[in-house]
Structure 1
Amino acid sequence: MRLVLASNSPRRRQLLSDLGLPYEIRLQEVDESFPAHLVRAEVAEYLAAHKAEAYRAALAPDEVVLTADTIVCLDDDVLNKPADAAEAIQMLTRLQGRVHDVYTGVCLLTGEGQRVVFSDQTRVYFRALSPAEIEFYVQQYKPFDKAGAYGAQDWIGMVAVTRLEGSYFNVMGLPVHRVWEELVKLGFGLNEVPSLAAV
């Protein structure tokens, strides 16, 4: 089977490349709104599945598309990508000194119509941050493409994240351990990893 990654996220591309599987990137605009009654993991799974459906008609029988959506939840509030610096500062001000949850929903849809939807949860502990630290991060790193207005892999992750419960890679945007497990069930294996196939 051939893997198609439907994501513009450089973190997801990096993680999938590090997993060792070859993939093709395909992109198209998909509405990312969700029903108001959904909460936490339901939101992430709904958005991942919704994105995958946009690719269904164009998939070849031997292809599987991977879509994903990462959300940050403070209590039951979903913090998506900030629209601007002011909203990013507002989000980080709410997160600092608190514990929050990161959910990544993933959908794998095959060209033959088989669909797998799942999510992974990571609990993230943030230390208290000063307004100057928050403003520095937003101005220097411009985290406007990141749920919750931060990336655990960059400066704020190093200075603010004191503890994780769950997968670090899930916070980056893709729970690769679960992705690998589900791809194996769909027929992928070590033979598809070029660096391992010759071993």
Structure 2
Amino acid sequence: MEIVLASGSPRRSEILSSIGVNFSIIPSDVEEVTDEKEPEKIVMDLSWKKASFVAEKLSGDFLIIGADTVVFVDGVVLGKPKNKSDAFNMLKALSGRWHQVYTGVTVISLEQNKIVKEYEKTDVYIKSLSDEMIFNYIEKGEYIDKAGSYAIQGYGSLIVDKINGDYYNVVGLPISKLHDILSREFDVHLL
């Protein structure tokens, strides 16, 4: 069986590589649009769309992993910022408070004709940020292509005060949840 990551995200790739998983990468080119409104349903739907997009191109004994991450605050889902102004507004909204990070994970087995969709949620508290701190953070360029406009594993570690839940979920791939899915549903054991 060959494992395929349906994502071009270097962060997701690094997480899988860090635990010795042999996999190939086929980035999903699907538009990240959904009719779902609740954050957990949004990320599960988008992770499924990404994994399905790649699955349609393959045949044989493949296990495809798709993932999608959003930030949720005040009943609003924050995806990736469109520009610096959008990033500023997102970080301003997150400043000095808790928010939730949701990542949906979909695993598709072509051989078994089986699809499993789950999600993970982590609470994150961002320090109170001055406008100057937000501008300085944005100038680092780390906000680009990041849900909620920050990356906890980079300079974002300087603005995150605390988390409650899975750190890797905030990075973009809840590896413990993925391990549980793979072992429970597909008899694939990473340990």
| TM-score tier after normalising by the smaller chain length | over 0.9
What residue in structure 1 maps to residue 117 of structure 2? 117
What's the TM-score once normalised by structure 1's chain length?
0.90
Secondary structure of 2:66's aligned partner = strand
What residue in structure 2 maps to residue 197 of structure 1? none
Q: Does 1:156 align with 2:164?
A: no
Q: Structure 1, unaligned stretches of length 5 or more? A: 194-199
1:81-111 Cα shifts (integer Å, max 9, x gaps): 1011111011101110111000000000011
Structure-1 separation of matches of 2:102 and 2:51: 17
Deviation at 1:61, TM superposition (A): 2.8
1:17-39 Cα shifts (integer Å, max 9, x gaps): 0121100011241011111x521
Contact 1:85–1:142 under 8 Å retained in 2 = no
Structure-1 separation of matches of 2:17 and 2:188: 15
Point out the structure with max Rg over C-alpha.
1
Q: Structure 2, unaligned stretches of length 5 or more? A: none
Structure-1 separation of matches of 2:87 and 2:56: 37
Q: 1:169 to 1:28 in 2, by over 3 A?
A: closer
Letter in 1 for 2:38: V
What residue in structure 2 maps to residue 65 of structure 1? 64
Deviation at 1:75, TM superposition (A): 2.2
Q: Does 1:134 align with 2:134?
A: yes
Contact 1:45–1:107 under 8 Å retained in 2 = yes
Secondary structure of 1:58's aligned partner = coil
Q: Does 1:182 align with 2:181?
A: yes
Contact 1:59–1:110 under 8 Å retained in 2 = no
RMSD of equivalent CA atoms: 1.3
What residue in structure 2 maps to residue 74 of structure 1? 73
**More displaced stretch, 95-104 vs 21-30:** 21-30
What residue in structure 2 maps to residue 54 of structure 1? 53
Contact 1:34–1:47 under 8 Å retained in 2 = yes
Aligned positions, number: 189
Secondary structure of 2:163's aligned partner = strand
What percentage of residue pairs aligned between the two structures are identical? Answer: 35
Deviation at 1:10, TM superposition (A): 0.8
What residue in structure 2 maps to residue 34 of structure 1? 34
**More displaced stretch, 134-143 vs 121-130:** 134-143
Letter in 2 for 1:58: K
Structure-2 separation of matches of 1:189 and 1:99: 34
Deviation at 1:161, TM superposition (A): 1.4
Secondary structure of 1:141's aligned partner = coil
What residue in structure 2 maps to residue 90 of structure 1? 89
Letter in 1 for 2:17: S
